Chain A
Amino acid sequence: EAAVTQSPRNKVTVTGGNVTLSCRQTNSHNYMYWYRQDTGHGLRLIHYSYGAGNLQIGDVPDGYKATRTTQEDFFLLLELASPSQTSLYFCASSDSSGNTLYFGEGSRLIVV
């Protein structure tokens, strides 16, 4: 079973604040993803990566940066957080086929 660990699990920040969400996977997967989950929208892809140093833009990238420092670690950065970024964020990983996703437990972010 793939193991994907996210931190922090819960975060409250103020508008304009800096937030970094971390994700680590320990199954040697090449692909990693950041999604946000909002009621009525399902999961929307923010950024994804094929491997260390690689970054691909997803469907809702505005206001987010990401960095893949190693095969295991993928970070999502909100440099000027806004209330519209209040959401539940999921990290996921998959093998080289890019098919089955293994999700982390989620990080709930509230921007006040």
Chain B
Amino acid sequence: GEKVEQHESTLSVREGDSAVINCTYTDTASSYFPWYKQEAGKSLHFVIDIRSNVDRKQSQRLTVLLDKKAKRFSLHITATQPEDSAIYFCAASRGSFNKLTFGAGTRLAVCP
């Protein structure tokens, strides 16, 4: 089955700098790649996703890049703010009606 690996278990950046979280996947048939955010002591919520028909998607300060050849995707956060501090999970699936496989999570700390 699919395996999703998050390369950074922890990441610390200074407020205002950019942060990049990288993930790789194994299933060449995967076509849907969402990201979820979990703030301390809270549940997860969806932040952004990308599908395999594009290689870049941006939403405000968040950008997701997808490299299908390398089976790699990444989340870029620009102008980081303290409220960006959280655990970020990447995930992958074969698309609609297929279950998501999550990575282990990256704990991002934005320091003033």
Tell me the A residues contacting B by CB distance below 8 Å.
33, 35, 40-45, 48, 56, 58-59, 90, 97-106
- Binary A-proximity of B40-79 (CB < 8 A = 1, otherwise 0): 0011111001000000000000000000000000000000
Residues of B within 8 A of A97 (CB): 96-97
With beta carbons under 8 angstroms apart, the residue of B6, B34, B44, B97 that contacts A103 is B44
Q: Considering only CB atoms and an 8 Å cut-off, how many residues of chain B contact the other chain? A: 25
**Is there an interface contact between B34 and A99, defined as CB atoms closer than 8 Å?**
yes
A43 to B101, CA, bound (A): 8
Residues of chain B within 8 A (CB-CB) of A103 are: 36, 43-45
Given contacts A42-B103, A99-B96, 9 further A-B contacts (CB under 8 A): A40-B9, A41-B104, A42-B105, A43-B102, A98-B93, A101-B100, A102-B46, A103-B44, A105-B43
Q: What are 7 A-to-B residue pairs whose CB atoms are below 8 Å?
A: A42-B105, A45-B100, A97-B96, A101-B36, A104-B43, A105-B43, A106-B43
> B25 in the interface, Cβ–Cβ < 8 Å?
no
Cβ A59 vs Cβ B1 within 8 A: yes
Set of chain B residues within 8 Å of A59, measured between Cβ atoms: 1, 101
Instruction: Report A60 CB to chain B, min CB distance, Å.
Output: 11
B14 located at the interface, meaning its Cβ lies under 8 Å from any Cβ of chain A in the complex: no
Asked if A98 contacts B102 (CB within 8 A), the reply is no
Of chain B, the residue at the smallest CB distance from A35 is B102
* Residue of chain B at shortest CB distance from A6: B43
Q: Which residues of B contact A35 (CB under 8 A)?
A: 102
In the complex, which residues of chain A have a beta carbon less than 8 angstroms from the beta carbon of B45? Answer: 102-103
**B93 CB contacts on chain A under 8 angstroms:** 98
Chain B window 81-111, contacts with chain A (Cβ cutoff 8 Å), 1 for yes, 0 for no: 0000000010001001111111111000000
* A58 & B99 in contact (Cβ 8 Å cutoff): yes
The residue in chain B whose Cβ has the minimal distance to the Cβ of A104 is B43
- Nearest CB to that of A97 among chain B residues? B96
* Nearest A residue to B106, CB-CB: A42
Give CA–CA (A101, B98) in the complex, Å: 12
Contact digits for B11-28, partner A, Cβ 8 Å, 1 yes 0 no? 000000000000000000
